[in-house]
Amino acid sequence: MKKGRIFSGMRPTGRLHLGNLMGALANWVKLQDDYECFYAVVDWHALTTGYEDTSMLRQNVREVVMDYVAAGVDPERSTVFRQSDVKEHAELHLLLSMITSLGWLERCPTYKEQLQQLSGRDITTYGFLGYPVLMAADILAYRASSVPVGEDQLPHLELAREIARRFNYLYGTVFPEPQAILNDVPVLLGTDGRKMSKSYGNTIQIASTPQEVRTAVQSMITDPARIRKTDPGHPEVCTVFGYYKAFAPELAAVRENECRNAEIGCVACKRQLADVIIDYLTPVWERRRTLETDPGALDDILDRGAARARSVAAATLAEVREAMKI
Ligand code: TRP
Q: Which ranges of the chain does DSSP label H, i.e. alpha helix?
A: 18-20, 26-31, 43-49, 57-71, 88-97, 102-107, 109-117, 126-129, 131-140, 154-171, 210-218, 239-247, 249-260, 266-292, 295-324
pLDDT at 262: 93
**Those residues with Cβ within 8 angstroms of residue 238's Cβ, 6 or more apart along the chain or in another chain:** 221, 222, 223, 259
Taking the model in full, what pTM does it have? 0.93
Nearest residue (by CA) to ligand 1, atom 13, is 8
Rounded CA separation 268/216 (Å)? 14
Does the domain at residues 208-288 carry the CATH identifier 1.10.240.10?
Answer: yes
Distance 104 CA to ligand 1 centre (A): 18
Q: What are phi and psi of 223, to 5 degrees?
A: -65, 115
CB 135 less than 6 A from any atom of ligand 1: yes
Q: Does residue 8's CB lie within 6 angstroms of at least one atom of ligand 1? A: yes
d(C-alpha 277, C-alpha 284), whole Å:
11
- Decide: 159 and 104 in contact? Cβ < 8 Å: yes
The domain locations on the chain are 5-188+295-324, 208-288
C-alpha span between 26 and 281 (Å, rounded): 12
Predicted local confidence at residue 49, as pLDDT: 85
In this prediction, residue 183 carries a pLDDT of: 84
Q: What is the pLDDT of residue 159?
A: 97
C-alpha span between 39 and 200 (Å, rounded): 27
Superfamily of domain 5-188+295-324: HUPs (3.40.50.620)
**Distance from CA of residue 243 to its chain's centroid?**
19
- What pLDDT is recorded for position 52? 85
Ligand 1 atom showing the smallest separation from residue 135 Cα = 9
Ligand 1 neighbour 9 (Cβ under 6 A): yes
In the prediction, which pLDDT does 143 show?
98
Common-topology check for domains 5-188+295-324 and 208-288: no
Query: Which of the listed residues 35, 45, 183 should we mutate to test ligand 1's pocket, taking the one with most ligand atoms within 8 A of CB?
Result: 45
The pLDDT profile of the chain, 326 residues, written as one tens digit per residue, is: 788 999 999 999 999 999 999 989 999 999 999 999 999 999 999 999 889 899 999 999 999 999 999 999 999 999 999 999 999 999 999 999 999 999 999 998 888 888 877 777 777 899 999 999 999 999 999 999 999 998 889 999 999 999 999 999 999 999 999 999 998 777 799 999 998 888 899 999 999 999 999 999 999 999 998 888 899 999 999 999 999 999 999 999 999 999 999 999 999 999 999 999 999 999 999 999 999 999 999 999 999 999 999 999 999 999 999 999 99
CB–CB of 25/63 below 8 Å?
A: no
CA–centroid distance, 154 to ligand 1, in Å, is 10
